[in-house]
Amino acid sequence: MTNPLIQDWDTPFELAPFDKISDDDFEPALEEALTTHRMEIDAIASCDVAPTFANTIEALEEAGSQLDRVLGVFFTVAGADSNPAREDLQRKFSPQLAAHFSDISSNKALFARVAEVWEKRDSFDLTDEQARVLMLTHRGFVRSGAALEGVDDTRMKEIKGRLAVLGTQFTQNLLADERSWFMKLEEADLEGLPDFVIDAARSAGEEKEAGGPVITLSRSLIVPFLQFSPRRDLREAAFMAWQARGANEGETDNRAIAAETLALREERAKLLGYKNFAAFKLETEMAKTPDAVRQLLTDVWEPAKAQAEADAAVLTNMMHSDGVNGDLAPWDWRYYSEKRRRAEHDLDEAALKPYFQLDRMIDAAFSCATRLFSLEFAPLDVPLYHPDCRAWEVTRGGKHVAVFIGDYFARGSKRSGAWCSAMRAQARFPEPQTPIVINVCNFAKGSPALLSYDDARTLFHEFGHALHQMLSDVTYESVSGTSVARDFVELPSQLYEHWLEVPEVLSEFATHAKTGEAMPKEMLDKVLGAANFDMGFSTVEYVASALVDLEFHDSEASADPMAKQADVLAALGMPAAITMRHATPQFAHVFSGDGYSSGYYSYMWSEVMDADAFEAFEEAGGAFDPERAKALETHILSTGGSQDAAALYTAFRGRLPGVEALLKGRGLTAA
């Protein structure tokens, strides 16, 4: 029987036939796809015709399509619906793939052809996009070590292979810790919890077959538990387990993995002639240098810390008034902050949450995309990789644009967090292809499913990434959609969050789950008025993580990352009642792969732009100003990485932004 992963897909929009694919298909499909890709690469490298853009750069763009398709399916299910077989395959595939791509980047004959095209680039009649693709291709080979010789070349291959293994192991250890821990609750332990938390705990207990409600380490469950449980002992137990992910000794401990990863990254950077890994990594980003990143984070840290310390004093007094003596602890902050929010803004999360139904928030995200970009969304009945998933066809003016898949609910087989990925990216070469885009979130199940305001922001955030993929309009896949600088990629996603805060959007879509009535204007005003509530806390926990990440990579690799983390936080004067958003053993952004290493700051770098970009709408005709929407699509969403990020933003806004709009947006005053 032919392997469904490598035969033509006679399915709607050439979606993967998930109902025909089994775990046994992945390994043979990967082997065949790797063999095919090697043959394609060998043909390019051994071509006896003088190198040209077409026979070298475009040939590289075309090569590997079968491999991309196999990996697109595999990594989708491995991240969002893992099982022991898929985890075994991930561990096996990661060094194979690292070796495969390392062989390509160190192929001397291939690099010689790329280098010759680069040297003779002025003699070719290249479009701007072709010139950009050539530059990125050549730079990618050089930064991968293509120019290295002898023992350095061999060592670079070894480092890449080992880093791939470590990244996979880090991710799987974290998932194992998150999946294995839960805390059973007796009926008396549910006292004081709102119905939506109780329902989520009961649902989690059913999934765990625990015989009753449980608290798991899913953010969508543990955070509201920390907000609402009056039981300080239970809050402490849950928080300590949450903080201990990846640091529980034994096989799933990530601390040694982090240390080895940092050492290998430093060695890799030095082989390429860089002072350290941060200098290497940031060279291709908008920030360019570690000092530029440090300056941004420091500018935000000081006012955020001052606000957080003032807030801590208020929360401590509230705790003492409850008869709890001593210092405010990290497991106390969310509980007393929620009480303070109810007191100061008359906002009760339990009363607010029924207005944020998952289905209505999906409708809201779609509606904004319709008003801004004339996109239409129609449900699709197609086989997907999990029953929780649903799909829509995206059209504009009756023309097919994309397929969008939403996978919204937390489950034990899904890694934590939220992300957007493309099983197929937009391109026009070698033939037109439309994107297949997936948003993955970890919301608590319910009937109906209710979101927190932060959950709703996450939904809009990930859909902003999806729009970047869906509206892409470039020729070459390597610069399509979100294939941009890491500190630029979060601009479309964070910018889209602003539309959730537009009063007319909430007025239409924030409707009560039981009564169907729109959110009362008084409550709506309170929601918007409290948008910056506790911003000192959220900014401090984020910036602390970003600074630790930067210092890990902008100095000599530490043999003890936990000690290094402690030193950085001590130097910052980290408030005692706030912890890093992602402590080192669970910092998947940084240690599951190179993606956000030295780059966790990028969310804030992008926020500087998104705050300024939304101001452009407000300065024009409002949130749905058609001219600004057109400019956003033309200069940012449709262009992918086909132009320099700073040039794209300048084309949209007329200038680059300063940090002022960000501080204003977060309600912080410059120190």
Handedness of CA 406, 409, 413, 415 (dihedral sign): positive
Q: And the tokens for 253?
A: 């401990």
Cis peptide before 430 (omega within 30 of 0): yes
User: Is residue 336 packed enough to be buried (19+ CB in 10 Å), middle (13-18) or exposed (0-12)?
Assistant: buried
Q: And the tokens for 623?
A: 């949130």
- Alpha carbon distance 566, 596 (integer Å): 21
What 8-state DSSP symbol labels residue 517? Answer: P
- Alpha carbon distance 573, 216 (integer Å): 31
| Cβ(644)–Cβ(479) below 8 Å | no
Centroid of chain to Cα 92:
24
| Residue 23 CB coordination number (10 Å) | 14
Question: What are the residues whose beta carbons fall under 8 Å from the beta carbon of 544, sequence distance 6 or more?
Answer: 569, 572, 574, 578, 580, 581
Q: And the tokens for 120?
A: 């003779």
| Cβ(200)–Cβ(444) below 8 Å | yes
Q: And the tokens for 87?
A: 């985890």
| Cβ(148)–Cβ(386) below 8 Å | no
Give catalytic residues, as residue numbers.
462
Nearest to 483 by CA among 418, 532, 548, 435: 435
Q: And the tokens for 482?
A: 């979100």
Straight-line distance from the first to the last Cα atom of the chain, in angstroms, rounded to the nearest whole number:
68
| Cβ(642)–Cβ(132) below 8 Å | yes
Q: Which run of H or E residues covers position 406?
A: strand 399-409
- Alpha carbon distance 361, 341 (integer Å): 23
Strands 376-380, 390-396: pairing is: antiparallel
